Amino acid sequence: MISEIKDTNFAEIIKSSSEPVVVDFWASWCGPCKMLAPVIDEISGEIGDKAKFFKLNVDENPVTSTQYKIASIPTVMVLKNGEVVDTLVGFRPKDAIKSVIEKHI
């Protein structure tokens, strides 16, 4: 299972992680987000401990969504040492997302 990340713990989690952090920005009303969720789940299972996976509900966490200028969802962001190193906007096939994440491992 991918854990939730929130406005309250976002900064702490991304700073304290030595592995790349993958954040899936989503909302319950977004169809493509629903399709992406199981894909991210699978990738997280395959990549294991080499990266940390989170999902962030944009409705409930407006501070982070605004800070990272989320204008369209789903958006998958890869962060390393607190910095954004890659952003994927919209649904992407599993292989495409996985290869982007693997670049940063």
Partner 1 sequence: MGDRYDIAIVGSGPAGLSAAINAKIRNKNIIIFGNKNLSSKVEKAPKVNNYLGFYEITGTELRDQFQKHINSMNIDITTERINTIYAMGEYFALAVNEKMYEAKAIILATGIEYTKPLKGEEEFLGRGVGYCATCDAPLYKGKVVTIIGYNREAEEEANYVSELAEKIFYVPMYKAEYNLKRGNIEILKDKPLEIQGDDRVRNVILKNETIATDGVFVLKDSVAPNQLVPGLLVENDHIKVDLNMSTNIKGCFAAGDCTGKPYQYMRAAGQGQVAALNAVSYLDSL
Q: Which residue among 17, 30, 80, 86 contacts partner 1 (CB under 8 A)?
A: 30
Given the complex with partner 1, which of 18 and 69 has the nearer CB atom?
Answer: 69
**Number of other residues whose CB lies within 10 A of the CB of residue 88:** 18
For residue 80, the minimal CB distance to partner 1 (Å) is: 20
The residues near 51 (Cβ < 8 Å, ≥ 6 apart) are 19, 20, 21, 22, 44, 78, 101, 104, 105
Active-site residue (options: 5, 33, 36, 39): 33
Q: Please provide the DSSP assignment of 43-56 as one string.
A: HHHHHGGGSEEEEE
- List of residues contacting partner 1 (CB under 8 A): 27, 29-32, 35, 38-39, 42, 58-59, 65, 69-73, 75, 87, 89-96
Residues taking part in catalysis: 30, 33
